[in-house]
Amino acid sequence: MKKTKLRAVIEKGKDGLYSIYIPDISGLFGTGETEDEAKENLNEAIDMSLEYIEETGQTADYAVLQGNYEIEYVYDLSGFFKTFDFFDISSFAKYIGINPSLMRRYKSGITKASQAQKSKIAEGIHSVAQQLSGAQF
């Protein structure tokens, strides 16, 4: 049986707390001081939703949770750079060919990146990761 992929978006707020939500299921989210805590909290919310279905018979937005699913965690762009805050965002922007001022706005969440820009940023991150994995000392 094919698993349904549920996309869960990881964010990191200005207060330092993590939140994770599933855009396709309204009201289902987890929060925590760490990413792992937020994931645990999301799983608890899923368990409570399944209990609700059992008790009431009402599936509402939660029907997909009764099937075979897996959660795919993704970062929102701002949340990624807040989580991995060791990146020098201006240098990274120059490295991938994006205006540093625009990249800082993406990082802060002031401006939302287009899908093309997100792809360019993801490719840059993967390129850096590949280069770092080959580093030897």
pLDDT, averaged across the chain: 91
Please state, in angstroms and rounded to a whole number, the distance separating the CA atoms of residues 68 and 71. 10
- pLDDT, tens digit (0-9, with 9 covering 90-100), for 65-124: 888 889 999 999 988 988 888 889 999 999 999 999 999 999 988 899 999 999 999 999
Q: pTM of the full predicted structure?
A: 0.80
pLDDT at residue number 82: 85
- Region 4-75: CATH code: 3.30.160.250
Interaxial angle between packed helices 115-133 and 89-96, expressed in degrees from 0 to 180 and rounded to the nearest 10: 100
Please state, in angstroms and rounded to a whole number, the distance separating the CA atoms of residues 116 and 134. 28
Where along the chain do its domains lie?
Answer: 4-75, 78-133
Which residues neighbour 72 within 8 Å (Cβ) at sequence distance 6 or greater?
5, 6, 7, 8
Alpha helices in 4-114 (DSSP H): 35-56, 77-83, 89-96, 100-108
Please state, in angstroms and rounded to a whole number, the distance separating the CA atoms of residues 44 and 62. 14
Please state, in angstroms and rounded to a whole number, the distance separating the CA atoms of residues 81 and 136. 26
